[in-house]
């Protein structure tokens, strides 16, 4: 609550850049949403707490390149156990879940920043840019550059 109050005080100042206000509102919405309500939806009740915590921590550029083994390490479970629980709870394999989290992070970065697409691909652990483009297109129906142009145009 103290951090939220400090953010609100900083953002309430006149002449704040629009991106600063967008960041504040996005953070505020994220705090109010139920856990694991983003790309990871459970098909059989809530996700186990250990999995929801691991997914939340994994969804940052520090962990995304580590793949399934990194998610398993954050969860404190073996990759095999992680895969069984993820499949039972979400209907996806752990690999599909990791790719989902990677693409959601990439889409967020493309919408909210002007960072080079190569840097975003590296953040998610996909150094093969062709593979990143193909994965992104498969997930969102557009290549990253066109997705960015469309999304940033809607925000303007």
> What is d(CA 100, CA 104) in angstroms, rounded to the nearest whole number?
6
* CB 54, CB 85: distance < 8 Å: no
| Span 48-94, pLDDT tens digits | 999 999 999 999 999 999 999 999 999 999 999 999 999 999 999 99
| Span 20-36, pLDDT tens digits | 666 666 666 655 544 43
pLDDT value of residue 11 = 57
> What is d(CA 104, CA 54) in angstroms, rounded to the nearest whole number?
16
In DSSP notation, the chain reads: -HHHHHHHHHHTSTT--HHHHHHHHHHHHHHHSPTT-SS---SSSSPPHHHHHHHHHHSSTTTGGGHHHHHHHHHTS-HHHHHHHHHHHHSS-HHHHHHHHHHHHHHHHHHH----HHHHHHHTT---HHHHHHHHHHHHSS-HHHHHHHHHHHH-
pLDDT over 90, % of the chain: 65
pTM over cut 0.85: no
């Amino acid at each position: 609550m103290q951090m939220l109050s400090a953010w609100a005080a900083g953002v309430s100042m006149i002449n704040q850049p629009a991106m600063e206000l967008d960041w504040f509102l996005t953070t505020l919405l994220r705090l109010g949403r139920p856990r694991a309500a983003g790309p990871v939806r459970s098909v059989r009740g809530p996700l186990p707490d250990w999995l929801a915590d691991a997914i939340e921590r994994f969804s940052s550029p520090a962990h995304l390149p580590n793949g399934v083994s990194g998610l398993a390490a954050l969860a404190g479970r073996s990759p095999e156990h992680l895969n069984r629980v993820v499949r039972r709870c979400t209907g996806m394999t752990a690999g599909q879940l990791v790719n989902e989290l990677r693409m959601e992070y990439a889409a967020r970065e493309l919408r909210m920043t002007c960072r080079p697409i190569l840097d975003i691909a590296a953040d998610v652990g996909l150094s093969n840019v062709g593979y990143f483009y193909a994965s992104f297109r498969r997930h969102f129906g557009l290549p990253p550059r066109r997705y960015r142009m469309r999304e940033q145009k809607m925000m303007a």
